[in-house]
Amino acid sequence: MPKRYLLVVATFLLSLLLYIDRTCISTAKGPIVADLGLTDTQFGWILSAFAFGYALLQAPSGAMADKMGSRLVLATVVTAWSIFTGLTAAAWNFVSMFVVRFLFGAGEAGAFPGMAKAVYSWIPTKERGLVKGINFSASRLGAAATMPILPLVISGIGWKLTFVVLMLVGFVWAGIWWFWFRDEPENHPSISEEELKLIKADKPTPSANTDDEDAGAGISYFKNKNMWLMMGQYFGSNFTFFFCLSWLFTYVKNTYDLSFESAGFYAAIPLLGGAAGNVFSGWMVDKLYAAGHKDWSRRLPAIIGFTLASAGILLSLGQADVVGAVAWLTIAVFGADMTLSPSWSFCIDIGGKHAGKISGTMNMAGNLGSAIVALAFPYLLAWTGGPEAFFYMAAALNAVAILFWILSNPKNVISA
């Protein structure tokens, strides 16, 4: 098997673990709130604590991956976030849980920028769309598995021990990654000459249209229109998806009067739609790229995705039963996740050797959207008495993101 395929397996498993760890707290909301005496708005702040920690460390983590390599950075961040996953079980009140989840988010921040750097070094350009789609589909599968399965695990061993077990799984992944991976494929002891030539031959050549001579200067990234467009559209994408991670379980349970187990089942379905959207979009990105449509291989899947997301969110409102609501939300999340592969492929295109920091900056903006979702949903629900205002806001953000993609230009690179 080509060694780059093993890299895809490793990052697939990491993405799976990333979202199991991240989603576990939403699934365990009932017993956590009961044990710690929390309100819904306090729990919203705990969810946003993760997103703020995750967002604030995105760009620094990406810069670390660019400078120190994905081998060290991913081994370190997985170990760090696993420690804070375990420490979640030690929280005793609102403040302690808020601090632990903020640090957990900060630990997870380096995961996708680190993976982006590894993909840049190991994966030929023509294969990157599908690889990013596969990686992101794993995150959705991890979250989807968490919704119906973890309630059973938590019922059996308790929410505290569940977090400890997840911590140990993270330690195992970090150890295997450190011993197997190398930052550059030519340094891997068992890669073939044939595969190495394939990887190196497909490395993109720098464009003459760069923003500045010092491609590593952090502030110069923000002089490039593409950076702001990617940040804006990713804010809208994350705003939609993070609702599924944070409040969908509670929303379907309370709105349609479901049991704990039934709510987990229905909350998992849109996440499976997201996994399918990632793979389909990744395939579409690579097909369009291979056909010679490089610019539209990034734009078109994202534009289609945001259109589906906006329509699905609006049509999910007012459904009389949970099946109809979940069906439209599944279409919305399928669409929202169609935007991920082109977004990260676009950042790798324009970022080059600084792909980690560029993608991390985009992801920072996206996760500010996640932080706002965690707070906006419970507060808007309390202020307006229904979910309509929140859903209209999400649909509008998706619509604006379509315009951002129309204005984007992958030829306008940020770094050499």
For residue 130, the Cα-to-chain-centroid distance in whole angstroms is 16
Query: Residue 245's pLDDT band (boundaries 50, 70, 90)?
Result: confident
User: 382 — phi, psi (to 5°)?
Assistant: -70, -40
Dist CA 354 CA 119 (whole Å): 12
The answer to whether residue 260 scores a pLDDT higher than 90 is: no
Q: What per-residue string of b and e applies to 80-114 under the rule 16 or more CB within 10 Å gives b?
A: bbbbbbbbbbebeebeebbbbbbbbbbbbbbbbbb
The answer to whether residue 215 scores a pLDDT higher than 70 is: no
Class (C level, CATH) for 3-185+213-407: mainly alpha
Query: Would you state the pLDDT for residue 198?
Result: 85
**Cα angle at 61 between 335 and 171, to 5 degrees?**
90
For residue 42, the Cα-to-chain-centroid distance in whole angstroms is 24
Entry pTM: 0.75
Contact in structure between 26 and 249 (CB atoms under 8 Å): yes
Mean local confidence (pLDDT), 241-266: 85
Who wins on pLDDT, 17 or 364? 17
Query: Residue 223's pLDDT band (boundaries 50, 70, 90)?
Result: confident
In this structure, the dihedral spanned by the alpha carbons of residues 333, 257, 396 and 240, taken in order and rounded to 10 degrees, is -30
Query: Would you state the pLDDT for residue 312?
Result: 96
DSSP string for residues in 59-120: HHHHHHHHHH-HHHHHHHHHHHHHHHHHHGGG--SHHHHHHHHHHHHHHHTTHHHHHHHHHH
Render pLDDT for 77-134 as a digit per residue (tens, 0 to 9).
Answer: 999 999 999 999 999 999 999 999 999 999 998 888 888 888 888 888 788 778 877 8
Dist CA 378 CA 16 (whole Å): 27
The answer to whether residue 59 scores a pLDDT higher than 80 is: no
Q: Any idea which of 113-117, 200-204, 234-238, 308-312 has the lowest mean pLDDT?
A: 200-204
